[in-house]
Amino acid sequence: MGKAAGFGVHMDSIKVVGGAELNGIIPISGAKNAALPLMIASLLTDETLTLSNVPRLRDVAQLMQILSNHGVDYSVNGKRSGQDDLAGQTLNLTAREIVDTTAPYELVSKMRASFWVIGPLVARMHEARVSLPGGCAIGTRPVDFFIDGLAALGAEIEIEGGYVVVRAPGGLKGARVEFPKVSVGATHTVMMAATLAHGETEIVNAAREPEVVDLARCLKAMGARIEGEGTSTIRIQGVPRLHGAHHAVVPDRIETGTYAMAVAMTGGDVLLQGARTDLLEAALDTLRQTGADITQTPDGIKVHRNGNGIQPVDVTTEPFPGFPTDLQAQFMALMTKAGGTSQITETIFENRFMHVQELARLGAQIQVDGRTATVDGVSTLRGAPVMATDLRASVSLVIAGLAAEGETTVNRVYHLDRGFERLEDKLTRCGAQIERISG
């Protein structure tokens, strides 16, 4: 991957001139939060795992580097003629032999999801040494659940010098693993580990997210025996080995919801190509209550808002199938222009209201009290320079800028590139006045 993975200097900004409706087609990329665990699953077999519809994102490039450190060979299929340049890429990942069972701090610290390699490594190699991840701006995400889950499967675990050292000399053994709190990452990790364990594993209080279901579907294509994915109890019968497979990454429900909210905010009519309503019903129901028309078509989801105003709606973030925390900032942007007062309660992450003071710079009226933000809708937002604090906050500022009078400049957009593939290209195609300014 080399230099390309850096995607230019980190000081890029995005300039938005508000006021245009969005009309046209936005192709929805594969889900980053599904692609990362799917790529990590390649460590479970010595055969090739082929993933299609993989988004072109910095996190994907970063994980490729981390996996190649363990001995995964990868190739990227070239574009076929006539293919849309916004279509996903196809990766072939082959971990013929694992050359290194250590995931060093300098790699794991750049990306928390890379900690998940601990599950496949200990399942296949019976040992792993993985750095504890560094902090992340949006609150603490403990790795205790991962460690307790692997310990339940019979692994011996020590923390040495900032590393989690896991050994399972005779291999992992199936067991009942009950999580005290729903954790997507821990569910991914224990599920992957259990596929090669001896006997049956039962994961209780498992995450139900579509990305967990997608990983289970891929593991089953590789020969794993899994049932119950999408419910809170997943059962896995261990098998001696997994084989290669082909798997298409599920469409990104957060990207889908983000663009749906952008259309609800600006007005217009957009087809979110390839999107599926079943992946984010709670968020789409909430959007319908604000006055947007949303319909599933064979090609994707159509979102339309005619001239009528935006209705205020209260929302509380919840684990799937509830309203996703990853759409909270975008929904708050939408509510800043609602005709009335709405309340947004964040129950998943602390520090998830960092976009509030930046939205206020555009003229939004928002009061925060603990976990709840009260938004009094205003008739007009006015463009201003703002600063992105994290991935979802940065895109909420872009959405607000699309509906603000005049020009908004969003600085520090490198956060955006972690999770949104070619955002400005997709919006420009639908009539938005938006451009990236290189730093």
* pLDDT tens, residue by residue, 339-352: 999 999 999 887 78
Domain boundary among 248, 275, 304: 248
pLDDT at 85 over 80: no
Domain boundary among 225, 248, 271: 248
* pLDDT tens, residue by residue, 157-167: 999 988 999 99
Distance CA 226, CA 275 (A): 26
Is residue 379 part of an annotated ligand binding site? no
Is residue 54 part of an annotated ligand binding site? no
Is residue 166 part of an annotated ligand binding site? no
- Token readout for 75 is 């190739």
Domain residues for the domain of 304 are 2-28+251-437
- The sign of the CA dihedral 180, 184, 189, 193 is positive
176 and 320, same domain (yes or no): no
Catalytic residues: 136
Is residue 81 part of an annotated ligand binding site? no
Q: What is the CATH number of the domain that holds 194?
A: 3.65.10.10
- Token readout for 224 is 């794993």
CA angle 229, 135, 63 (to 5 degrees): 55
Cα torsion through 265, 267, 271, 272, rounded to 10? -10
Max intra-chain CA distance, the chain: 66
10 and 55, same domain (yes or no): no
What's residue 8's pLDDT? 45
Residues contacting 80, CB < 8 A, separation 6+: none
Considering the entire predicted model, what is its pTM?
0.90
257 and 178, same domain (yes or no): no
**Burial environment of residue 378 by CB neighbours within 10 A (0 to 12, 13 to 18, 19 or more):** middle
Quote the number of domains for the chain: 2
Is residue 3 part of an annotated ligand binding site? no
What's residue 141's pLDDT? 53
Asked if 351 and 328 touch (Cβ cutoff 8 Å), the reply is no
Is residue 183 part of an annotated ligand binding site? yes
116 and 135, same domain (yes or no): yes
197 and 282, same domain (yes or no): no
282 and 326, same domain (yes or no): yes
CB atoms within 10 A of CB 370: 9
Is residue 182 part of an annotated ligand binding site? yes
52 and 142, same domain (yes or no): yes
What's residue 381's pLDDT? 98
Q: Could you tell me where the beta strands, DSSP code E, fall in 223-290?
A: 225-227, 233-237, 245-248, 268-273
Domain boundary among 193, 224, 248: 248
Band the pLDDT of 1: cuts 50, 70, 90: very low
301 and 417, same domain (yes or no): yes
53 and 96, same domain (yes or no): yes
48 and 178, same domain (yes or no): yes
* 341-345 β-sheet, strand order: 315-316, 341-345, 372-376, 365-369
Whose tokens are 């709606």? That residue is 313
7 and 127, same domain (yes or no): no
178 and 314, same domain (yes or no): no
